Each structure stands twice: as C-alpha cells, then as structure tokens.
Structure 1
Amino acid sequence: MKINIEIDEKYSQVEILIMAPKMNEEVQQIINKINDEKKKHVIGVKDDRMYILNPKDIFCFYTENKKIMARTEKDKYEIKDKLYIIEEYLKNTPFIKISKSVIANVDKVKNLEVSFNGTLCITFFDQSQEYVSRKYVTDIKSYLQIGGR
C-alpha cells in the first residue's frame, strides 16, 4: 500500500481518495476503518450534564418538543445536532431514517409488524415502538432485503 498526502491551503476540507485496481478486502477494510473513526461517539445532554454516548447503545434519534433526542435502553438525552446532521454522520451504519422525525438503529429492532395498508411498526428490544412513514417503507425494506411491496 502506498500513501500520498498533499497539504495545500487551496483545499477547504479533508478529502480521502482511494485508488485501487479493483474493490477488494483491503479497500473495504480501509473504508470501514475510516467510517468507524468518525462515528466514535455522540454527545448527549441530560440534567445539565454532557454524556458521551456510543452509537451502538442508541435505539433511535427522534424529535420531541422541537428538540432532537437519543433514546438508549435506560434513558433519553438531548442531542444538539440537527437530525439531518446525525443522519449524515451515521451514514453507512445500522442507522436508517424511518420517518421525517426518527432515525432508528436496526441492530436494536426486535421485530417489524406489517399492517394491511403496507406500513410498518418497529418494536425495539426495550419494547418501545416507532412507525415507519410510507415514504421510508421502501428504504427500510431494501436495507433489510425484504421482498415485496
């Protein structure tokens, strides 16, 4: 593996370019490592204290009273970021947007209930539930590789 680094003020942000003859395990490991590095933690606030949350412990992010919240098994925390920032931050992870106001951790989903009109109800391992908006049903079915409509 060869590493080239170019430092120049003309760049406004860090950009990573991987050049390889084909997609292979080494390339995938590099991508995974980069993605893992940027998703180490989320800062949540509760009772005027800041908590470092591991995304793996978060069941979902949701809006409540115009605030973004993260729900874990034992508590909920206010998150200062906007939902679209969190969605971008958690791209290529088990988190998927299921409605305009909820991003769910698929690894924390106990089951899905399909209703007769094609919508989905998600039950998490903590027994809480969220509904998948019709707009996002196709996305979650694709993510979970569920066939049908």
Structure 2
Amino acid sequence: MKDQIDSKLITALQQNAQATAQELADMLGLSPSQAARRRQRLEASGVILGYRAQLDAGALGLGVQAFVQVQLLNHDPTLSKSFNKLIGSQPEIISAWAMTGDADLLLRIYSKDLASLNTLIHDILLAHGAVSRVHSQIVMNQIKQDAPLPA
C-alpha cells in the first residue's frame, strides 16, 4: 500500500531516476537503507516498471513527430493481431493506443523527415490488409514535454 512517503519517493525518482539512496533519504527524511528498501518494494510490486534515459529526438536526427489515427476495416482477431505485430516491429512508432471513437488506434511516431513518415504511412501502414484509413497530424511544437505521472 502506497503512503505519502512513497508518493514523494515516486515523484523524486521521476525527476531523477539516478538519485542515490542517500539523496533520496535526504529528500524524504529517512535513512538511506529505508529509502532503498522503499524503492525496492515499489520496484518489486510493479509500481516502478523500470528506468530509462530521456533523449532529445532532434539530436538523434528525428525531426518530425506525428500522431497517426488508424481506422481498421474490421475487428477480425487475426488481422488485428497481425497489425499489432507490425506496429511493434516499427521502431519509429514509439507508442500505440487502442481508442474509442472514429479511430481504432492512435500511434505516436518519430521520423527523420516527412518523406520517411510518408513511406511509413503509405508503404507500411496503409499496405496492411487490416487498415481502412489513416489520418495523420504533424506536431508543429510540443508545448509541454512528457510529464511525470501524478503520484
């Protein structure tokens, strides 16, 4: 069961996942061993799924971010499974959600340029037999960066 100290620990780790047990202890008013045990408990319970580096897409040559809505022809389980596998195999598609409404899926994509995005959409996504149509939206400016989850 998560308490107020766990919430503060989660917030601190989302700001700096490399914080040492001593740094966490100082922030939380605990001993380093207590802070470490709490972190381990949150990891073991699945609250903390892992740690990763935050990267600059532009510095990696990924100049275009887009959201692509995908409408499927139908919800045949075999076609859906095949399309989901296709999505998982494309490194440019960094996340995908099943949605309610007109679009069945929403994809977040980073590509090096518009030509690469066009190739992904037309030659890979639309070429799959499960897809009825796609609607893409190019990100002009990201107003708010991906934020930590509220703890």
Q: TM-score, normalised by structure 1?
A: 0.27
Of the two, which has the highest radius of gyration? 2
**Larger proportion of helix:** 2
Q: TM-score, normalised by structure 2?
A: 0.27
Return the structure number with greater relative CO, CA threshold 8 A, min gap 6: 2
